[in-house]
């Protein structure tokens, strides 16, 4: 059977997924909603409001879609998978209760506690207990300390005060609502010292397979300085993720997560993104996400030698354990080309030049739009340039060689993507 597939989302992650799915021998037609000019090369973009579940369902029926693949977290946390599965439609992505691993920090922390999954010690406070929370922190006098808004906050829900004064300032911010509605409950967490790495597992509710690991670069500035962003670049595999370490992550973190979700009646199907801190006590969970990382997806999907659509279908049909997944052993590095000013104010509509000069490597679109024959910037993160090679160093070189061929007004990127990995290898 050949599949008609609907992929939801519009970023670089979705371009990488569309590119991967489009190569499948099982694909008939691929639609991407709403997509971007990059995804339009792999399938047909459709203007569809993906937060309107009825509209999504109408489209699925009208176009005889067999499978929906969900890129971003919001529709999953809002229950899109439940809504479509009730209509007997196959969806790749967890149902609402399983997506709570990302949707609620409190749920995730309590879940890890119930299942003995290593993570930072924590305490939860409700909105009318903020004074009590501040008192608790000041009394403990252990800095830095981590404050997390409970709900989805688009990466902006974490404050890390380093002193009593900064704690009081953080609570002022929390009280005046700058962390949006997400802060109705607050998780106060012990600060973990170490290096971060993300591990990605594909899951069918019962079993899972690790499909890669990557290190993201969340801060806007080189040397991990400045404001937090959605991610300025990533590389894979990360040298910090040595074989023994990854085996212990599978055994002590991913397996109990999948088994625990199943035992609690919320089998986890889809991509499980486990954000880890490698501490002197071993790996501990910083966060779970219920979808691929962006830009981490852009360095993981190209490594998959198996038919991506086939693997996804095996998850929606609960047959992952019978499916073999083959990955290549190349290194990859992606550099995010951003609009100057991001993650704060920036201008859009700048003409992008040079893409026709890209030979090796790949470029995934994130915030772009077309205007006649022109390609214009249309977001903070604009393009993700991917380099590959036999070594991390050659992957990084390949990526920057491509970057130097592309231009737009006020283009900004970090020059040190992958540097941490190289340092570890040295
Ligand atoms: P999260 O939204 O939970 O991923 O947190 C965002 C970022 O804050 C993480 O990527 C870490 O860099 C940092 N962070 C979160 N929790 C902790 C923690 N307990 N200890 C140290 N850093 C943390
Ligand atoms: N790159 C971080 C994330 O996707 O959450």
Q: What is the pLDDT of residue 256?
A: 98
The CB of 274 under 6 Å from ligand 1? The reply is: no
Q: 3-state DSSP call for residue 274?
A: strand
CB 201 within 8 A of CB 214: no
pTM of the model: 0.96
Bridge partners (DSSP) of residue 7 are: 32, 69
| Per-residue model confidence (pLDDT) at position 361 | 59
The encoded tokens of residue 71 equal 């890129």
Strand blocks (E) in 205-325: 208-216, 219-221, 225-228, 233-236, 269-279, 282-289
Is the link from the previous residue into 136 a cis peptide, with omega within 30 of 0? no
Rounded to the nearest 10 degrees, what angle do helices 130-140 and 164-175 cross at?
Answer: 170
DSSP 253: I
Fold (topology level) of 3-85: Rossmann fold (3.40.50)
Structure tokens belonging to residue 184: 């109705």
* Helix or strand (DSSP H, E) at 11: none
Q: What is the CATH number that goes with domain 122-190?
A: 3.30.1490.20
Return the pLDDT at 401: 95
- Both tokens assigned to 352: 């992008």
Find, among 314, 259, 250, the residue nearest to 67 by Cα. 314
284 near 190, Cβ under 8 Å?
no
Which atom of ligand 2 sits closest to the CA of residue 216?
1
Query: What is the structure's pLDDT at 179?
Result: 57
- State the fold for domain 193-322: D-amino Acid Aminotransferase; Chain A, domain 1 (3.30.470)
Tell how strand 44-45 and strand 27-34 pair up: parallel
- Residue ranges of domains in the chain: 3-85, 122-190, 193-322, 331-425
List CB contacts of 248: < 8 A, sequence separation 6 or more: 282, 283
State which of 112, 142, 146 you would mutate to test the pocket of ligand 1, scoring each by most atoms of that ligand within 8 A of its C-beta: 146
> What ligand 2 atom has the least distance to the C-alpha of 289?
5
Ligand 1: residue of 148, 228, 286 to mutate (most ligand atoms within 8 A of CB) is: 286
The span from the CA of 398 to the CA of 390, in Å, is: 11
Nearest CA to ligand 1 atom 12: 196
112: three-class secondary structure by DSSP? helix
Residue 324 has a pLDDT of 95
CA 16 – CA 145 distance, rounded (Å): 36
In order along its 426 residues, the chain shows pLDDT tens digits of 999 999 999 999 999 999 999 999 999 999 999 999 999 999 999 999 999 999 999 999 999 999 999 999 999 999 999 999 999 999 999 999 999 999 999 999 999 999 999 999 999 999 889 899 999 999 999 999 999 988 777 666 788 999 999 999 998 888 776 555 555 789 999 999 999 999 999 999 999 999 999 999 999 999 999 998 999 999 999 999 888 999 999 999 999 999 999 999 999 999 999 999 999 999 999 999 999 999 999 999 999 999 999 999 999 999 999 999 999 999 999 999 999 999 999 999 999 999 998 865 599 999 999 999 999 999 999 999 999 999 999 999 999 999 999 999 999 999 999 999 999 998
Residues 270, 320 contacting (CB under 8 angstroms)? no
Rounded distance from Cα 286 to ligand 1 centre (Å):
6
pLDDT score of 182: 53
**Of 345, 348, 418, 332, whose CA–CA distance to 382 is shortest?**
348
> Whose atoms come closest to the Cα of 191: which ligand?
1
Instruction: Give the H or E element holding residue 312.
Output: helix 308-316
Report pLDDT for 373: 94
Multiple choice CATH, 331-425, 3.20.80.10, 3.90.600.10, 3.40.50.1820, 1.10.287.130: 3.90.600.10
């Amino acid at each position: 059977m050949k599949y008609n597939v609907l992929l939801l989302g519009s970023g670089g992650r979705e371009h990488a997924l569309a590119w991967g799915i489009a190569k499948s021998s099982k694909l008939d037609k691929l639609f991407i909603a709403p997509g971007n000019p990059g995804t339009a090369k792999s399938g047909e973009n459709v203007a569809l409001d993906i937060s309107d579940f009825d509209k999504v369902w109408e489209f699925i029926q009208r176009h005889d879609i067999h499978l929906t693949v969900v890129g971003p977290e919001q529709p999953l946390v809002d229950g899109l998978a439940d809504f479509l599965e009730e209509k007997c439609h196959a969806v790749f992505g967890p149902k609402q209760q399983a997506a709570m691993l990302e949707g609620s920090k409190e749920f995730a922390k309590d879940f890890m506690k119930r299942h003995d999954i290593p993570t930072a010690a924590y305490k939860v406070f409700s909105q009318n207990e903020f004074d009590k929370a501040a008192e608790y922190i000041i009394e403990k006098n252990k800095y830095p300390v981590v404050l997390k808004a409970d709900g989805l906050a688009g990466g902006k829900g974490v404050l890390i005060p380093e002193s009593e004064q900064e704690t009081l300032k953080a609570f002022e911010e929390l009280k005046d609502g700058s962390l949006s509605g997400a802060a109705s409950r607050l998780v106060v967490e012990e600060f973990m010292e170490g290096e971060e790495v993300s591990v990605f597992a594909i899951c069918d509710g019962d079993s899972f397979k690790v499909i890669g690991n990557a290190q993201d670069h969340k801060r806007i500035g080189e040397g991990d300085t400045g404001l937090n962003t959605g991610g300025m670049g990533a590389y894979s595999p990360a040298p910090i993720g040595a074989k023994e370490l990854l085996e212990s992550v599978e055994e002590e973190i991913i397996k109990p997560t999948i088994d625990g979700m199943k035992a609690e009646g919320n089998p986890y199907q889809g991509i499980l993104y486990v954000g880890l801190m490698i501490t002197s006590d071993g790996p501990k969970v910083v966060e779970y996400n219920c979808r691929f990382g962006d830009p981490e997806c852009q360095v993981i999907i190209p490594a998959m030698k198996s038919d991506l659509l086939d693997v996804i279908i095996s998850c929606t049909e609960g047959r992952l354990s019978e499916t073999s997944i083959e990955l290549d052993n190349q290194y990859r590095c992606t550099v995010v080309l951003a609009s100057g000013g991001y993650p704060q104010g920036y201008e859009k509509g700048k003409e992008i030049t040079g893409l026709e000069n890209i030979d090796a490597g790949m470029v995934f679109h994130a915030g772009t739009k077309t205007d006649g024959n022109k390609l214009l910037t249309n977001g903070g993160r604009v393009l993700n340039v991917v380099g590959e090679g036999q070594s991390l160093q050659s992957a990084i070189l390949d990526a920057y060689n491509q970057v130097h061929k592309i231009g737009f007004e006020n283009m900004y990127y970090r020059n040190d993507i992958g540097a941490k990995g190289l340092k570890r290898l040295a």
